[in-house]
Amino acid sequence: MAEVEVQGISKHFGEVRAVDGVNLATAEGEFLVLLGPSGCGKTTLLRMIAGIEEPTRGDILIDKLVVTHLPPRVRNIAMVFQSYALYPHMSVYKNIAFPLRTRGMDKAAIPAKVEWAAAMFGIEKLKHRKPRELSGGERQRVALARAVVREPSVFLLDEPLSNLDAKLRASAREELRQFQRRMGFTTIYVTHDQVEAMGLGDRIVVMNKGRIRQVGPPREIYHFPADTFVATFLGSPPMNLLEYAGTLVGFRPENFLPAEFVSDADGVVTYPFEITYLEDLGAETLVYGNIRERFHTGHVVSRLPGNVNVSIEAGRTYAFAASRRDLRFFDKSTGLRTEGSLP
Amino acid sequence: MKPIRKLAARGALYALILSFASFAVFPFYWMVIASFKTDHDLFNPAANPFLLNEPPTLDHLRLLFFDTHFVTYLVNTFLVGVAVVAITLVTAVPAAYSLARWAKGWGETLGIGIFITYLVPPTILFIPLSRFVSDMGLQESLWSLILVYPTFTIPFCTWLLMGFFKTIPRDIEEQAMVDGLSRLGAMVRVVLPLSVSGLLTIVVFAFTLSMHEFIYALTFISMSVKKTVSIGVPTELVRGDVFRWGPLMAGALIASIPVSVVYTFFLDRFIAGFTMGAVK
Amino acid sequence: MNRVMEGAAAVPAEGARAGVADRQGQLAPLMIAPAIAYIVALIGIPFVMAALYSLSDVTTGDPSIDFVGLHNYREVFYDPVFRTALSNTCLFALASQTLVIILSRILASALMQDFRGKWLARFLIMLPWTAPIALGTIGWLWMLDSIFSPFDWLLRRAGLLGAPGVLLGPMPNLYWLGQSGLAMASVVLVHVWRLLPLATVIQMAGLSSISRDLLEAAAVDGATGWRRTLEITIPLTLPIIGIAFLFGIVFTFTDMTVVYVLTRGGPVHTTQVLSTWTFFRGIEGGDLAQGAAISLFLFPVLAGVASLMLRMARRAEVT
């Protein structure tokens, strides 16, 4: 197992700064998720760690050894691509055996090793099939088996679940997490899906425009976003942001509820909430509307759990409240989180 | 009414195809029939020339194979073809791969530039090349053809292969690099096995092109035993003014058909190259 | 830096270095170099040499290059045979390719239909292109023979030839390759025969690229057969038709085999083209300088075709 460290790394494609001065270090055996919108540089960063892309500036260290200019083959990393990149001309068995053969492993030892990796993902029966004869889920397993078969020091995954259908994705997520815990590989996982990031990561790295915006455990990222980008990128619907006296006040939709449901020792803020539109999603109801008092940009969303039994209707105004503990404040010009309070 | 109209359309289609096919195939039919006609039948202006009016004869074939250098021409053609294929593969494959994969904007430009050289015809080049060949002492040698033919196989094959390589997903070779291969290794052990059909196309194309070639062979080679089929048959089976039509036709036929069969299988792929991606 | 690795998997391998095989920056030029070298050495340099020859007095007998300015071009240009060759070259190319484009359009639509024996029909129709051109032309030479031509036999049978007072005269034969008009028509015919298959396959590629949805939409909009062809199929396949035409022009324009095998430029130079005239003057006559000058008259047309193709390729890239 190994640590990966990235020091001041940049990658420019012509004028475009895909990655712009990123510093990052994993702990050993950590599951680190790189999260961000498409084009934020997360995949480029991953490819530089893999050695497929060479950085314009900066260094990459694996186990404190500088590997910046080493080719991928000697870095002992494994990578699972979004497309799974199975070798179409080889059987499943040969696909899994491939990294062993390129490393010149003793021929006699290969079958047992392949067997072990295939068993781990329950694909022993598929060994003689070609990749095109496999379902999406099976392909993903083969790709994982091929990645782990040589016991890499670092495990890189580039949106490995995005080609699966929604149902399969949830179970694959769970399996992946369990497998990583069991093997203890240091894992770097790229995704644009916040649900995957929240569910999988020991820590999440939120990136935007080639830079890191925040690094931290999922709960911290969600509840204490470092800036307005993180606050609005995570959460669905995103955090409500309202301007008040030169700062932005933020609160999550699920924390903004009819006043009778909110009570807190730290106190609450209550506003008249003029409802424009209701969206009943079964498990929850999204309530759209405006707070006219105090804020001049007062468009707000509230998320009511499905089991909250209130009768509200569009076109009318109700008293909604948020706990003061759940309020976050951001500097209006920099977007960074600051201290603040509401009267 | 309907079925009759349909039938008429069908009939018209078959008639159309049949007339085009006859036009295309007639010279070859003519070769077949001449190959088996006795000379007496062949040179009788009153006899129906479309039919065998006398029992078929194998005299022409016998003459062709035993009294002429036809077999030598076939062997020469084959040797030149194989050598040209080898040179083409060795130069075009790496060039096409690196142009398709590693070069961004200028790769496409250079690729098109290479393709354009395919349009520079032997007609312009054969005069200086004849001098070049004689300076190298390669006159009357198959080596002159082996050296020169790649000038038209490399440009087109490079272009064709660029198209093939672009269809292979990048992920696969990046995966191969992560799995322990160098860039070169990924190309050789993963990309090439995936391009077998493309490589085969190149082999067939380079071989048929060098077999079809006429001008260079005519210019560089005049010794009978060094000739290829393409020039040997039209120039050597004529004694003075006397055309030995029987053997001539048999030779043309025998040399044409096998390579045509193979070529037909690959035709669509060449067209993909010709149309330069104007068709998706 | 002394670290002991667990297991077989060294993490990452100590002392490992990137070799040439790993570096794209070094590998790319190495891999392109042989092809470029070949093209420069055997196309680029000879091309420049051809230009130099055309300005000199080089012959096979006297290989030293002394420059004589535009003398060869002047000489060549006032030679009536050259003028015939130049106009024939253009005439043969344009006439045969106009025919080829029209016929291939018809043949391509026919071959797009489903019918029995399609593979065989395709194979037979492709034969003129897939067989070596010199050998196919030899077949034509025999068919156009001055005495034994089957066409003459048919015409005689039909009572159009070989008797006093009939349409084509009392002579028993037409002497296809012996009369300048017929000989020129024969050359065009063989070019059509030879290039029709290529143009057909190119046009088929164009036709099959039109999406079925579009044709169905047109049918729904009430467009009938002819209208669909004129307003949808032809405009959409126009770039492809253009490519087929340009290739056809290049192949006929530069071809020497058909004329060389069929007529050797005769009778009396009336079917001479630039390529055969180059060969006769430059190689058989030994006057390399004049030969080069003649061949270079091909260049402007080829350059024009190349630039048209480049424009098309660029347009294809954009879409």
Residue C19 Cα, gap to closest chain A Cα (Å): 9
CA distance A3 to A63: 5
Residue in chain A lying closest to B175 (CA)? A85
Q: Shortest CA distance to A229 belongs to which of A204, A209, A245?
A: A209
> Do the Cβ atoms of A73 and B172 come within 8 Å?
no
In Å, how far are B4, B15, C106, C118, C310 from B8, measured between CA atoms? 6, 10, 17, 19, 44
B203 touches chain C (CB under 8 A): no
Closest residue to C12, CB basis, from A69, A75, A151: A75
Residue A166 Cα, gap to closest chain B Cα (Å): 24
> Do the Cβ atoms of B178 and A77 come within 8 Å?
yes
Q: Say whether B59 sits in a helix, a strand or coil.
A: helix
**C8 residue type, one letter:** A
Cβ–Cβ under 8 Å, residues B182 and A71: yes
CA distance B158 to B109: 13
Residue in chain B lying closest to A156 (CA)? B178
What is the tens place of the pLDDT at every residue in C186-196?
A: 999 999 999 99
B108: which 2 tokens?
A: 């496409």
Q: Shortest CA distance to C197 belongs to which of C72, C318, C81, C107?
A: C107
Kindly list the structural domains of chain A, giving each domain's residue range(s) and its CATH number in brackets, ordered by start: 4-223 (3.40.50.300), 238-338 (2.40.50.140)
A10: which 2 tokens?
A: 């940049």
Q: What is the pLDDT of residue B144?
A: 93
CA distance B255 to B250: 9
CA distance C31 to B138: 28
Q: Helices marked H in chain B — which ranges? A: 2-36, 39-42, 59-62, 70-101, 105-117, 122-135, 142-148, 150-166, 170-178, 183-186, 192-194, 196-212, 215-220, 229-236, 245-274
A213: which 2 tokens?
A: 């915006």
Mean pLDDT computed over A63-82: 90
Report phi then psi at A302, rounded to 5: -120, 145
Mean pLDDT computed over C157-179: 80
> Do the Cβ atoms of B274 and C110 come within 8 Å?
no
> Do the Cβ atoms of B177 and A85 come within 8 Å?
no
The 3-class SS string of chain C reads CCCCCCCCCCCCCCCCCCCHHHCHHHHHHHHHHHHHHHHHHHHHHHHHHHHHHHCECCCCCCCCCCECCCHHHHHHHCCHHHHHHHHHHHHHHHHHHHHHHHHHHHHHHHHHCCCCCHHHHHHHHHHHHHCCHHHHHHHHHHHCCCCCCHHHHHHHHCCCCCCCCCCCCCCCCCCCCCCHHHHHHHHHHHHHHHHHHHHHHHHHHHHHCCCHHHHHHHHHCCCCHHHHHHHHHHHHHHHHHHHHHHHHHHHHHHCCHHHHHHCCCCCCCCCCCHHHHHHHHHHHCCCHHHHHHHHHHHHHHHHHHHHHHHHHHHHHHHC
> Do the Cβ atoms of C31 and B212 come within 8 Å?
no
> Do the Cβ atoms of B95 and C32 come within 8 Å?
yes
Q: What is the pLDDT of residue C7?
A: 37
Beta-bridge mates of residue B243:
B238
Query: Is the pLDDT score of A18 beyond 80?
Result: yes
Q: Say whether B61 sits in a helix, a strand or coil.
A: helix
Strand order through the sheet with A203-208? A77-80, A154-158, A186-191, A31-35, A203-208, A211-216
Beta-carbon-side half-sphere exposure of residue B252 (alpha carbons within 13 Å) = 33
Residue in chain B lying closest to C192 (CA)? B24
Q: What is the pLDDT of residue A198?
A: 92
CA distance B64 to B251: 7
Residue C250 Cα, gap to closest chain B Cα (Å): 7
B50 touches chain C (CB under 8 A): yes
Beta-bridge mates of residue A154:
A77, A186
Query: Is the pLDDT score of C8 beyond 50?
Result: no
CA distance A312 to A318: 8
Residue in chain A lying closest to B181 (CA)? A73
Report phi then psi at A195, rounded to 5: -65, -45
Lowest mean pLDDT among A259-263, B129-133, C32-36: A259-263
Q: Decide the pairing of beta strands A65-66 and A77-80.
A: unpaired
Closest residue to C24, CB basis, from B25, B183, B212: B183
Closest residue to B181, CB basis, from A51, A77, A102: A102
C232: which 2 tokens?
A: 């949808």
Cβ–Cβ under 8 Å, residues A209 and A41: yes
- Contacting subunits of B (3+ beta carbon pairs below 8 A): A, C
What is the tens place of the pLDDT at every residue in A46-61?
A: 999 999 988 999 999 9
What is the tens place of the pLDDT at every residue in A180-221?
A: 888 888 999 999 999 999 999 999 999 999 999 999 999 999
Report phi then psi at A33, rounded to 5: -110, 130
Q: Shortest CA distance to A232 belongs to which of A37, A34, A21, A24?
A: A37
What is the tens place of the pLDDT at every residue in A284-320?
A: 999 999 988 777 668 899 999 887 777 888 889 999 9
CA distance A275 to A296: 16
Q: Shortest CA distance to A58 belongs to which of A212, A204, A230, A216?
A: A212
Which residues 6+ apart lie within 8 Å of B228 measured at CB? B73, B76, B77, B80, B145, B211, B213, B217, B221
A102 touches chain B (CB under 8 A): yes
Closest residue to A71, CB basis, from C10, C14, C18: C18
Task: Report the CATH number of the B68-274 domain.
Answer: 1.10.3720.10
Question: Which one is the CATH code of C70-318: 3.40.50.360, 3.40.50.150, 1.10.3720.10, 3.40.50.300?
Answer: 1.10.3720.10
> Do the Cβ atoms of C205 and B271 come within 8 Å?
yes
Q: What is the pLDDT of residue A91?
A: 93
CA distance A173 to A184: 16
Q: Shortest CA distance to C60 belongs to which of B173, B261, B219?
A: B219
B5 burial via Cβ count (<10 Å: 0-12, 13-18, 19+): exposed
Cβ–Cβ under 8 Å, residues C70 and B179: no
Residue in chain C lying closest to A150 (CA)? C9
Chain A interface, mutation test: which of B106, B171, B175, most A Cβ atoms within 10 Å? Answer: B175
A128: which 2 tokens?
A: 């003689």
pLDDT in 10s for each residue of chain B, 280 residues: 567 888 888 888 899 999 999 999 999 998 898 888 888 888 887 788 888 888 888 888 888 888 888 899 999 999 999 999 999 999 999 999 988 887 766 777 888 888 888 888 888 898 889 888 988 888 889 999 999 999 999 998 998 888 888 888 889 999 999 998 988 899 999 999 988 888 988 898 899 889 999 999 998 998 888 999 888 888 887 766 667 888 888 888 888 888 888 888 887 777 777 665 554 4
Query: Is the pLDDT score of C1 beyond 60?
Result: no
Cβ–Cβ under 8 Å, residues A278 and A285: yes
Q: Say whether A186 sits in a helix, a strand or coil.
A: strand
Strand order through the sheet with A268-280? A257-258, A317-323, A268-280, A284-291, A299-305
CA distance C187 to C89: 11
Q: Say whether A204 sits in a helix, a strand or coil.
A: strand
Residue in chain B lying closest to C172 (CA)? B45
CA distance C150 to C245: 31
B159: which 2 tokens?
A: 């272009």
Residue in chain C lying closest to B253 (CA)? C135
The Cβ of residue A216 has, within 10 Å, a number of other Cβ atoms equal to: 18
CA distance B189 to B193: 7
Q: Is the sign of the CA dihedral B95, B96, B99, B102 positive or negative?
A: negative
Q: What is the pLDDT of residue C11?
A: 47
CB environment A294-309: b (16+ within 10 A), e (fewer): ebeebebbbbbeeeee
What is the tens place of the pLDDT at every residue in A73-127?
A: 888 899 999 999 999 989 999 999 999 998 888 889 999 999 999 998 889 899 9
CA distance A73 to C13: 9
What is the tens place of the pLDDT at every residue in C246-277?
A: 889 988 988 899 999 898 887 888 899 999 99
Beta-bridge mates of residue A10:
A57
Place of tokens 């995949």: A43
**Which ipTM was obtained for this model?**
0.87
Closest residue to A151, CB basis, from C7, C17, C18: C7
pTM (predicted TM-score): 0.84
The DSSP code for A261 is G
What whole-number percentage of chain C has pLDDT above 70?
A: 92
Which residues 6+ apart lie within 8 Å of B85 measured at CB? B153, B202, B203, B206, B207, B210
Closest residue to A62, CB basis, from C1, C11, C18: C11
Mean pLDDT computed over C67-92: 89
Of the spans A329-338, B84-93, C151-160, which averages the highest pLDDT?
A: B84-93
Cβ–Cβ under 8 Å, residues A70 and A51: yes
